[in-house]
Amino acid sequence: MSPNLAQLHPYPFQKLRQLFADITPNPSLKPINLSIGEPKHPTPQLIKDALVANFDGLSAYPATQGSEALRGAISRWALRRYGINLNPATEVLPVNGSREALFAFAQAIVDPSAGKPVVLSPNPFYQIYEGAALLANAEPYYVNCTAANRFQPDWDAVPEQVWARTQLVFVCSPGNPTGAVASIDDWARLFALSDRHGFVIASDECYSEIYFGTEKPLGGLEAAVKLGRDFKNLVMFSSLSKRSNVPGLRSGFVAGDAALMAQFLLYRTYHGCAMSPTIQAASAVAWDDEQHVEDNRRQYAAKFESVTPRLKTAQDVSLPDASFYLWAKVPGDDAEFARRLYQQEHVTVLPGSFLARDAHGLNPGAGYIRIALVAPQEECLEAADRIVRFAQSL
């Protein structure tokens, strides 16, 4: 077996199960789980209809590059959403959800023969970044995201000798778990560092369509265009899971630097991860429709507008820039807070320290909990009332 497997950390939800292992929650209250970022809104009917209408696709082997129809739909969406022109033949590649693509991309990009390569990750972070780095024979380097820095990675805190070994930088904007969105100045700083050191930027943007108000989160490729750049050493990852409430569809895409995309396509041809033609057909329908996305966004906005003020009465919490998470400050130990909340109020949240690593003298997730507002609105409100009741009892 690969010795790198021994370096993998337990997943946050495995740690959560261990945290709750000896607890019997309050039996008089129904359980409310706000720990997992799994969309719970109904899947749009037009996507279901497209799946049924394209069952014939199951009789054919899929092309790794995906169909022209799907790549065309993705390119049209990118033009509508970001005002960028993607070449569907060379700059777009459908993938089976952003999770598998983020992992696979690191395996294709990292060159372990070049000394000890480094992969940079925000901290807190989506744990796939870390696992992808470790299994690519790279060293993960964690860049802390704290309130003092708008929950953005502090790129200036990274030593020069680390940049010199860096081959890949993961960016998550809107961020998981904080919901923070990178500004044009943040992107300009990272692009300048990429130009200087030659590393690739992988921009994870799977929460880009859940935002509040009229200001849409800035994307990485969009930032490049606004700054007068091309897509050299830059790719974005997006997904239908959150945008269209189809996490089980496992459908997303990677887009950007055509030279990188050609090599990633070569890798995936051998990796054997082509998307089913049936899924491709339904995905094209989803990317071409915005009405269901607007409806989805309104539902999340209503939950945040009602839940956030209630939580504010007892916690340090504010509306995020985007995403469906609240990143709430709690008194004392975040794991103990989550444990006792589960025991007394039968509400499950995720301790922030489980989503981060101790780095540079602190764990930037410590003292926070992540609350995923994915349940129906009334259930989220009930959970908020219980959290407030618990917090006020401390």
Phi then psi dihedrals of residue 120, to 5 deg:
-85, 140
Q: Which CATH number does 45-289 carry?
A: 3.40.640.10
Cα 199 to Cα 177: distance, rounded to the nearest angstrom: 25
CB 118 within 8 A of CB 139: yes
Cα 166 to Cα 255: distance, rounded to the nearest angstrom: 21
39-48 tens-digit pLDDT: 999 999 999 9
Phi-psi domain of 191 (left: phi exceeds 0; alpha: psi -120 through 50; beta: other)? alpha
Question: What average pLDDT does the structure give for the chain?
Answer: 96
Kindly report, as residue ranges, where domains of CATH 3.90.1150.10 are found in the chain. 3-42+292-393
Phi then psi dihedrals of residue 121, to 5 deg:
-135, 145
282-312 tens-digit pLDDT: 999 999 999 999 999 999 999 999 999 999 9
Strand ranges, E, within the chain: 32-33, 92-95, 118-123, 139-144, 166-172, 200-204, 234-239, 252-256, 325-329, 347-348, 350-351, 368-372
362-384 tens-digit pLDDT: 999 999 999 999 999 999 999 99
Phi-psi domain of 245 (left: phi exceeds 0; alpha: psi -120 through 50; beta: other)? left
Q: Could you name the CATH architecture of 3-42+292-393?
A: Alpha-Beta Complex (3.90)
Here the tokens at position 331 are 């008194």
78-128 tens-digit pLDDT: 999 999 999 999 999 999 999 999 999 999 999 998 889 999 999 999 999
Kindly report, as residue ranges, where domains of CATH 3.40.640.10 are found in the chain. 45-289
Cα 192 to Cα 116: distance, rounded to the nearest angstrom: 23
pLDDT > 90? residue 241: yes
Cα 169 to Cα 358: distance, rounded to the nearest angstrom: 19
Query: Sign of torsion, CA 238 243 247 251?
Result: negative
Q: Which residues contact 362 (CB under 8 A, 6 or more apart)?
A: 144
**Helix ranges restricted to H, 247-323:** 258-271, 277-287, 291-312
